[in-house]
Amino acid sequence: AQKVTQAQTEISVVEKEDVTLDCVYETRDTTYYLFWYKQPPSGELVFLIRRNSFDEQNEISGRYSWNFQKSTSSFNFTITASQVVDSAVYFCALSEAPYNTDKLIFGTGTRLQVFP
Amino acid sequence: DGGITQSPKYLFRKEGQNVTLSCEQNLNHDAMYWYRQDPGQGLRLIYYSQIVNDFQKGDIAEGYSVSREKKESFPLTVTSAQKNPTAFYLCASKTTLSGANVLTFGAGSRLTVL
């Protein structure tokens, strides 16, 4: 069965610290996609990144970076030099290839609080 | 601006009452979804619709109903049969980027049963 585990329920850091959010997934499929979404206090989930199972290259976008390791079934998210505006709940999600299913499996989320 | 509009943002209902949450999108997306969010449980899929006049149950469909009469609209009714309806409800629509689903979400509706 598919499953996404975000073991960190809540993380608090001081502004400018680096922080890593962990995501571990389970799937029996060889083709799948992994996602990260951000949910700010306004409630709307914002798409951050999508990764397919064949692409293990790490990705960097500004202060955000993602480390995908199939060997450990992990897709961790690092925020460098955190800012107060990064405070939100972050969700990791898993989807099989579109021809197989039409829904995302979400982790339980990690609440990040960045203090000034 | 294109997006998903959910209304109302906050809703209170008495036990035994049905309530309908609105979800409208102007993104011209075919597929739409309803998720429920509870503290500490992440998001769980209630219903989804891949095309007008068609919808499928998700993981927690009991006590809910939907309709998809128009491409733009996917309302969710929380019926009195739903035992624990207090939650945050999120509507989403799907676009496909290079073969992968990417969901665009609305701002959500928070339902409280008194």
Check whether B83 has a pLDDT greater than 80: yes
Nearest to B96 among A45, A46, A98 (CB): A98
Interface test with A, best of B47, B54, B101, B111 (most A CBs within 10 A): B101
Percent of residues, chain A, with pLDDT higher than 70 = 95
Q: Among B32, B30, B31, B9, which residue's Cα sits nearest to residue B21? A: B9
Mean pLDDT of the region A75-80: 96
Instruction: Tell me the C-alpha distance between A89 and A106, whole Å.
Output: 12
Chain A positions in Cβ-Cβ contact with residue B102 (cut-off 8 Å):
35, 47, 50
Q: Which residue has the higher pLDDT, B41 or B93?
A: B93
Instruction: Measure in Å the smallest separation between the Cα of B109 and chain A Cα atoms.
Output: 9
Check whether A110 has a pLDDT greater than 80: yes
pLDDT tier for residue A97 given thresholds of 50, 70 and 90: low
Instruction: Tell me the C-alpha distance between A64 and A85, whole Å.
Output: 13
pLDDT tier for residue B1 given thresholds of 50, 70 and 90: low
DSSP codes joined into one string, A28-84: S-SSEEEEEEEE-TT---EEEEEEETT----EEETTEEEEEEGGGTEEEEEESS--G
Chain B positions in Cβ-Cβ contact with residue A90 (cut-off 8 Å):
none
Q: How high is the mean pLDDT of chain A?
A: 91
Tens digits of residue pLDDT in A49-59: 988 888 888 88
Count of CB atoms situated within 10 Å of the CB of A23: 27
pLDDT tier for residue A103 given thresholds of 50, 70 and 90: confident
Q: Among B57, B71, B75, B84, which residue's Cα sits nearest to residue B27? A: B71
Q: Residue B88: closest CA among chain A residues belongs to which residue?
A: A43
Give just the sign of the alpha carbon dihedral A71, A72, A76, A80: negative
Q: Which residue has the higher pLDDT, A55 or A115?
A: A115
Mean pLDDT of the region A84-93: 96
